[in-house]
Amino acid sequence: MARIAISALLFLFLLPQAHPPAAFLSYRAAKDHKLNADPNSKFWRDARGIELDRSILGQPDPSVASHARSRWTKRYLYFLFWGPYDKLHLNPHPQTQHDTQRLWVHDDFELYLGSNFQNINLYDEFEISPQDEFLDMAIDATRARPGWNDEYLWNSGMTVKSRIDTEKKIWYGEMRVPLTAVDRRPAAVGNEFRVNVYRLQHADRGRGHFLAWQPTGEWMPHHPEKFGILKLVRKP
């Protein structure tokens, strides 16, 4: 019997172990701040973040390796993104007063965020361009062509700030998302969301760079089973 028990334990030990989802930490801030899209500012400099250095297919793509950080307050989630560029591919007629539909056909950063752990196909999508354009959508990943329907009619109340450093050839984008738009819970240390972060750099129709923090394995970002976890934690 002892040999059988040892063999059973050895068998279980050798089984492939499920890896916990990757974590993106969001650090508490004592008060809200005016968006500045500056990782060296007092608000952002101590917040550790994540790096996007792989394509959505999972291949290394270090030439446009990018970064993201997050902070939170009782009222808002904040996200900061930045990365280098060789040439920007911009909307020739930007407007910043309301959503820009299909913003992804130009350069952007994208945040996919969901608090629904019972139905992971329901989540929200937030986009920002180098020109202060934005897009927010309520996504159901089971629909045909998510994002191409009427998802843009949802309004989260997000605000954005972009900044282009033409000398260093880096662009920065910051989002502020009202917590009440994405979560029914009061903000608290330990709260978790499902999350992924993407960057499109001249990536429309399969060209250019399509970075993903958690690659999906195909040229399609709407795979919530691949998302990581955003966790609210105490200040840095």
Return d(Cα 195, Cα 69) in angstroms, integer.
Answer: 13
For residue 12, tell me if it sits in a domain. Answer: no
Express each pLDDT in 172-223 by its tens digit. 999 999 999 999 999 999 999 999 999 999 865 556 899 999 999 999 999 9
Q: Per-residue pLDDT for 25 more than 90?
A: yes
For residue 61, tell me if it sits in a domain. Answer: yes
Per-residue pLDDT at 26: 98
At 169, which CATH number?
Answer: 2.60.40.1190
Which of 113, 106, 51 is CA-nearest to residue 78?
Answer: 113
Cβ distance 212 to 196 under 8 Å?
Answer: yes
For residue 7, tell me if it sits in a domain. Answer: no
Per-residue pLDDT at 203: 60
Return d(Cα 78, Cα 81) in angstroms, integer.
Answer: 10
Q: Which residues contact 213 (CB under 8 A, 6 or more apart)?
A: 22, 24, 50, 51, 52, 68, 196, 197, 198, 228
Q: Which residues contact 104 (CB under 8 A, 6 or more apart)?
A: 110, 127, 135, 147, 200, 203, 204
Q: Which residues contact 151 (CB under 8 A, 6 or more apart)?
A: 125, 137, 138, 139, 140
For residue 144, tell me if it sits in a domain. Answer: yes
Per-residue pLDDT at 7: 47
Strands 170-178 and 209-212: unpaired
Per-residue pLDDT at 16: 47
Per-residue pLDDT at 235: 85
Cβ distance 62 to 55 under 8 Å?
Answer: no
Please provide residue 200's backbone torsions phi and psi, each rounded to the nearest 5 degrees.
Answer: -110, 125
Q: Which residues contact 84 (CB under 8 A, 6 or more apart)?
A: 63, 64, 65, 66, 168, 169, 170
Express each pLDDT in 39-89 by its tens digit. 999 999 999 999 999 999 999 999 999 999 999 999 999 999 999 999 999
Write down the pTM of the prediction: 0.90
Residue with tokens 């196909």: 121
Per-residue pLDDT at 206: 57
Per-residue pLDDT at 20: 79
Q: Per-residue pLDDT for 37 more than 50?
A: yes
Return d(Cα 107, Cα 110) in angstroms, integer.
Answer: 10
Mean pLDDT of 164-175: 98
Per-residue pLDDT at 160: 98
Q: Which amino acid is at 71?
A: R
For residue 139, tell me if it sits in a domain. Answer: yes
**Distance, C-alpha 129 to centroid of its chain:** 14
Express each pLDDT in 2-23 by its tens digit. 454 444 444 444 444 467 789 9
Per-residue pLDDT at 10: 44
Domain that holds residue 165: 23-233
Per-residue pLDDT at 204: 58
Domain count, the chain: 1
Pick the more confident residue, 212 or 1.
212
Length of the chain: 236
Return d(Cα 73, Cα 47) in angstroms, integer.
Answer: 14
Express each pLDDT in 84-109 by its tens digit. 999 999 999 999 998 999 999 999 99
For residue 17, tell me if it sits in a domain. Answer: no
